[in-house]
Structure 1
Amino acid sequence: MGGRHGSVLDLIGNTPVVLAEKLSPPGREVWVKLESANPLGSVKDRLALGLIEAAERDGSLKPGQTVVEATSGNTGIGLALVCARKGYPLVIVMAESFSVERRKILRFLGAKVVLTPASLKGTGMVDKARELAREHGWFLPRQFENENNALTHELTTGMEIVADFADAPLDAFVSGLGTGGTIAGVGRALKKHSPQTRVIACEPANSAVLSSGIAQAYATDNSPVGSHPVFRPHPMQGWAPDFIPHVTQQAIDQGVIDEIRLVSGDEAMEWSRKLACEEGIFCGITSGATFATARKLASELPPGSRVLAMVADTGERYMSTPLFADILEDMDEGEMEISRSTPGARFDAPAPMPAAPAAPAPEPSAEALDHVKALIEGAGAPLVFFSLEWCEFCWSGRKLLDAMGVAYREIALDGSEYADVEWAADVRRALGKISGAPTVPQVFIAGQHIGGATELFDAHNAGDLAGLLDDAGVAHGPSGIDNAYSLLPKWLQAR
């Protein structure tokens, strides 16, 4: 979407549809709707905006009221986007089994994340969200029962698809089921405006809850009662909770869904990787599962058939899941062979010696020496931390001090005060002269030089850092870290 917009919320929806030309069966077309084009990268941005604005219209959500919801991640991330822009505090309840990336994205957007035990499954996080809403008077969107879920997708996602294929008949639409809102809403739009289009749902083969035909029990408010007996854990995060959402059950009862197909976790991950490597479409496990189902369906249809699959989110939500289990951090043998094919910048060969010794650095000026001494001995926190903004060792040192709850005065030697390059270099030389080390960071406690990152980490690991802080009257607590070197990026730990 181009143009100028008054709010990031204006960018939700109107996502593109792309032909998976290389992966479509011969003579058939499999198209994908790229919901990763939404601002926060998933189809749930639509749901979040729809539920919040509906609640604003009917008055159930008050200005400044806290929003709380149970989610596997994408709905929560969408809610975090909407709540950040509209000014609502947000608490997300999530089972601990969902990917760590989702928690971090939520917290980065300002939301609070409350985890529930994995053993309690989806019903555990739903029950916890309801409990928190009752206790604190927070607004609960109730995505699994809220009719505005399906309505949002009918009016936006569904009508976009109708418009995109107005001149090219769509034989089938394929989607997975989380809350069921996407397939319910799109299905309704297609039944009204493209009745020849079959609506196909897919669910995990090892957790065929819908296909079982066993009914889900519901409370009077349409919330699920207990886990479905057929549910089993599966890798499709965001799909198929351990209950049948009421929104999904309504779609089944209303005949919106024509067929339910099963797809395995292995198929899902295989086709997610193929979409990435052969089409350049970066998506998650559920999208791979949907595409696998759509492609198989297309291969069964007559030549010329056209199938649309929902690609619900981006692959970046799955870095810590089995989808990326075989993706190496270090070079494999083939990559090492490429590295060895030319002589420069190799890990398995020594760096060439400089042609001539470098000229000795000039001595620091008296002004720079006085400046650094004043910083070390000046008023403020007795712990002084000389740093650079873009320095992994400085980041790791900060993490250690922050973990201990230490108040410190940080001197960023690449900050605005040192914008003058000559002055900054002079101050660096003065720090090196006083500390005896040319590197950064450098740490001083009550005027005593402790050292750089290595010395700081060693003092922590040996138990000496706490004593140095006590002697200087610096308040601190336990870091909870066994080995301070674990705070370094992995590529530095390996060297």
Structure 2
Amino acid sequence: MERVGALAAIGATPVVQLGQLVGSESAQVWVKLEAANPTGSYKDRMALAMIEAAEADGRLSPGQPVVEYTGGSTGSSLAFVCAVKGYPLRIVSSDAFAVEKIRTMQAFGAQVELIESPEGITPQLIPRMMARAREIAAETGAFATDQFNNTDMVDGYRRLGAELIEQLPGEPAIAAFTGYVGTAGCFLGVTQALAQKVPGLHRVAVEPAESAVLSGGAPGVHHIEGGGIGSRPPQLHETDYDEVIAVPEAEAFAMAREAARREGVFSGPSTGANLVAAIAVARRLGPGRRVVTVQVDSGLKYLSGHLYG
């Protein structure tokens, strides 16, 4: 499918090796800089994939409204894609998420409805947002992208994995991938693409320690946006990963700040969690291997909150 205007800028992001945070006793750690996408997030990939697939099979008609529940970056990306393609967009989000993300959605023309959750990302928040999005779809006839249940979004991330294979050929070999789990679309798409070319790939799912459901813990309140929804994402199964690392939010926040100051990797707390896990795995593996992870989004999305405020 030929892409119009700025949509052609999605993907083909650079990958860089960490030089300061990883010692010589560890495997290399490489980070895919997904902030280079148009809205500063890897969610541009999934937003475009969901819309294009719905256009192709007739689920989405020209000019039809679109609705989604989102913590922010998916909403920003959908607002961008829908603006270029001419679809009205309704977003259900919350004041638990960064205000920069809400304003980005509105800047692209989306209508945003916020559900109050002043305590943070609770186990009840995402189900409430999902229920309200379903109501809007029923009331307006909008196409619900329904990101957690939409298999098209996984396709949007397989290209990210293919890019890593193209960008990191030869030795040392890619040994592991670490990814913070929200919808699990990026984790599934990347690991599926890598596994086709990387025998024995170690797949590490990352979650907040405060809501470590994948690790067998209880759902809880946390502030690492983009994941830790309080339940297992419907498309993620135990056979899809080899290990889970639960990262305390304080460590994720601290790592995001340190990565900005020492590596120039400017990001949010979900990237901080990715880096905590990637560095831990790299220390365990030792020299002569590569661990890859992703910069989920730009730190510009978090300037008014607790991370950089």
TM-score normalised to the size of structure 2? 0.93
Report the Cα distance in structure 1 between the residues aligned to 2:256 and 2:144, rounded to whole angstroms: 33
- Report the equivalent of 2:290: 306
- Report the equivalent of 1:12: 10
Q: CA deviation at 1:321?
A: 2.3
Deviation per residue, 1:4-30 (Å, 9 max, x gap) = x96100010111100111111224311
- Report the equivalent of 1:78: 77
Alignment of 1:200-279 (within 5 A): 200-212=204-216, 230-249=218-237, 252=238, 255-279=239-263
Which secondary structure does the structure 1 equivalent of 2:207 belong to? strand
Q: CA deviation at 1:98?
A: 1.0
Report the Cα distance in structure 2 between the residues aligned to 1:320 and 1:124, rounded to whole angstroms: 25
- Report the equivalent of 1:187: 191
The residue type paired with residue 167 of structure 1 is G
Q: Note the residue ranges of structure 2 that are not aligned, 5 or more in a row.
A: none
Report the Cα distance in structure 2 between the residues aligned to 1:258 and 1:138, rounded to whole angstroms: 38
Matched, 1:144 2:148: yes
The residue type paired with residue 267 of structure 2 is C
The residue type paired with residue 202 of structure 1 is V
Report the Cα distance in structure 2 between the residues aligned to 1:273 and 1:148, rounded to whole angstroms: 33
Q: Is the 8 A contact 1:159 1:189 kept in 2?
A: yes
Which secondary structure does the structure 2 equivalent of 1:261 belong to? strand
- Report the equivalent of 2:20: 22
Which secondary structure does the structure 1 equivalent of 2:216 belong to? coil
Q: Is the 8 A contact 1:170 1:307 kept in 2?
A: yes
Matched, 1:320 2:309: no
Report the Cα distance in structure 2 between the residues aligned to 1:25 and 1:135, rounded to whole angstroms: 56
Matched, 1:178 2:175: no
Deviation per residue, 1:99-144 (Å, 9 max, x gap) = 1111111111111101113274111111100111011110001110
Q: Is the 8 A contact 2:68 2:91 kept in 1?
A: yes
Report the Cα distance in structure 1 between the residues aligned to 2:230 and 2:4, rounded to whole angstroms: 40
Q: Is the 8 A contact 1:121 1:242 kept in 2?
A: no
The residue type paired with residue 21 of structure 2 is L
Matched, 1:92 2:88: no
Report the Cα distance in structure 2 between the residues aligned to 1:292 and 1:320, rounded to whole angstroms: 23
Aligned residues: 300
The residue type paired with residue 189 of structure 2 is G
Report the Cα distance in structure 2 between the residues aligned to 1:192 and 1:240, rounded to whole angstroms: 28
Report the Cα distance in structure 1 between the residues aligned to 2:281 and 2:148, rounded to whole angstroms: 28
The residue type paired with residue 25 of structure 1 is G
Which secondary structure does the structure 2 equivalent of 1:246 belong to? coil
Q: Is the 8 A contact 2:4 2:84 kept in 1?
A: no
The residue type paired with residue 170 of structure 2 is D
Report the Cα distance in structure 1 between the residues aligned to 2:80 and 2:12, rounded to whole angstroms: 17
Q: Is the 8 A contact 1:91 1:112 kept in 2?
A: yes
Which secondary structure does the structure 2 equivalent of 1:247 belong to? coil
Q: Is the 8 A contact 1:42 1:312 kept in 2?
A: yes
Deviation per residue, 1:426-479 (Å, 9 max, x gap) = xxxxxxxxxxxxxxxxxxxxxxxxxxxxxxxxxxxxxxxxxxxxxxxxxxxxxx
Report the Cα distance in structure 2 between the residues aligned to 1:144 and 1:174, rounded to whole angstroms: 20
Q: Is the 8 A contact 1:191 1:256 kept in 2?
A: no
Q: Is the 8 A contact 1:30 1:307 kept in 2?
A: yes
- Report the equivalent of 2:281: 297
CA RMSD in angstroms, aligned pairs only: 1.4
Matched, 1:281 2:265: yes
Q: Is the 8 A contact 1:117 1:124 kept in 2?
A: no
Matched, 1:64 2:67: no
- Report the equivalent of 2:164: 161
Q: Is the 8 A contact 1:95 1:122 kept in 2?
A: no
Identity %, equivalent residues: 41
Q: Is the 8 A contact 2:76 2:104 kept in 1?
A: yes
Report the Cα distance in structure 2 between the residues aligned to 1:178 and 1:14, rounded to whole angstroms: 22
Report the Cα distance in structure 2 between the residues aligned to 1:136 and 1:53, rounded to whole angstroms: 21
- Report the equivalent of 1:337: none
Alignment of 1:27-42 (within 5 A): 27=25, 28-42=27-41
Which has more radius of gyration? Answer: 1
Q: Is the 8 A contact 1:171 1:306 kept in 2?
A: yes
The residue type paired with residue 144 of structure 1 is F
The residue type paired with residue 153 of structure 1 is Y
Q: Is the 8 A contact 2:46 2:155 kept in 1?
A: no
Which secondary structure does the structure 2 equivalent of 1:260 belong to? strand
Task: Sort the Cα spacing of 1:144 and 1:76 in 2 relative to 1 into closer, same or farther, 3 A.
Answer: same
The residue type paired with residue 5 of structure 2 is S
Deviation per residue, 1:242-276 (Å, 9 max, x gap) = 33221223xx3xx2311111111111111111111
Q: Is the 8 A contact 2:206 2:244 kept in 1?
A: yes
Report the Cα distance in structure 2 between the residues aligned to 1:275 and 1:234, rounded to whole angstroms: 21
Q: CA deviation at 1:176?
A: 0.3
Q: Is the 8 A contact 2:175 2:198 kept in 1?
A: no
Deviation per residue, 1:397-434 (Å, 9 max, x gap) = xxxxxxxxxxxxxxxxxxxxxxxxxxxxxxxxxxxxxx
Which secondary structure does the structure 2 equivalent of 1:322 belong to? coil
Q: Note the residue ranges of structure 1 that are not aligned, 5 or more in a row.
A: 214-229, 326-495
